[in-house]
Amino acid sequence: MSALAQFILCFVVLQMSAEIFAANQCSGNLCDQLTPRSCLDHLKRCSTSEGNYKIYNENDNCLYSVYCDMVPETAAAWTLVESFALSHKDEDPFRKHPFKTNAPVNKKSANFNRYRMSQPQMSSLKSVSTHWRATCSFPIDGIDGRDQARANFQDFDIMTFLGNGAMNVSNALQDGGQLSMHTCSQHIDSSHGGCQFVPTAGAVAGEDNFGFPKIINPNFRCHENVNSTTNWWFGGYQCS
**Which DSSP string corresponds to 190-221?**
TTS--SS--TTTT--TT-EESS--SS--TTSG
Domain-embedded: residue 10: no
pLDDT value for 93: 86
Q: Which amino acid is at 192?
A: H
**Measured on CA atoms in the order 170, 236, 213, 183, is the torsion positive or negative?**
negative
pLDDT value for 160: 82
pLDDT value for 139: 93
Number of domains in the chain: 1
Which has the closest alpha carbon to 207: 226, 195, 221? 221
Name the E strands within 41-102.
Answer: 51-57, 62-71, 76-85
The runs of H, that is alpha helices, within 105-199 are 119-126, 138-141
- Domain of residue 144 covers 33-237
**Measured on CA atoms in the order 191, 104, 65, 10, is the torsion positive or negative?**
positive
Which of helix, strand or coil describes residue 95? helix
Domain-embedded: residue 16: no
Q: How far is CA 110 from CA 85, 114, 230, in A?
A: 13, 8, 14
pTM of the model as a whole: 0.75
Which of helix, strand or coil describes residue 145? coil
pLDDT value for 109: 93
Domain-embedded: residue 17: no
Domain-embedded: residue 212: yes
Helix (H) or strand (E) holding 5: helix 3-20
pLDDT value for 34: 59
> b or e along 153-189 (b: 16 or more beta carbons within 10 Å of the residue's beta carbon)?
beebebbebeeeeebebeebebbbbbbbbeebbbbbb
Contact assessment for residue 190 and residue 176, using Cβ atoms and an 8 Å cutoff: yes
Domain-embedded: residue 13: no
Instruction: Determine the distance from the C-alpha atom of residue 107 to the mean position of all C-alpha atoms in its chain, rounded to a whole number.
Output: 12
pLDDT value for 175: 40
Instruction: Provide the 10 A C-beta neighbour count for residue 72.
Output: 13
pLDDT value for 95: 82
Task: Please compute Rg for the chain using Cα positions.
Answer: 20
Domain-embedded: residue 122: yes
DSSP 128: T
**How open is the CA angle 97-102-107, to the nearest 5 degrees?**
105
Tens-digit pLDDT string for the chain (240 aa): 555 554 444 344 334 433 444 444 445 554 445 589 999 999 998 899 999 999 998 888 889 999 999 998 889 999 999 999 999 988 988 888 888 889 999 999 999 999 999 999 999 999 999 999 999 999 998 888 787 888 899 888 888 866 555 544 444 433 444 444 444 455 565 555 555 656 566 666 666 677 666 677 777 788 889 999 999 999 999 875
pLDDT value for 103: 93
Domain-embedded: residue 25: no
Domain-embedded: residue 49: yes
Which of helix, strand or coil describes residue 230? strand
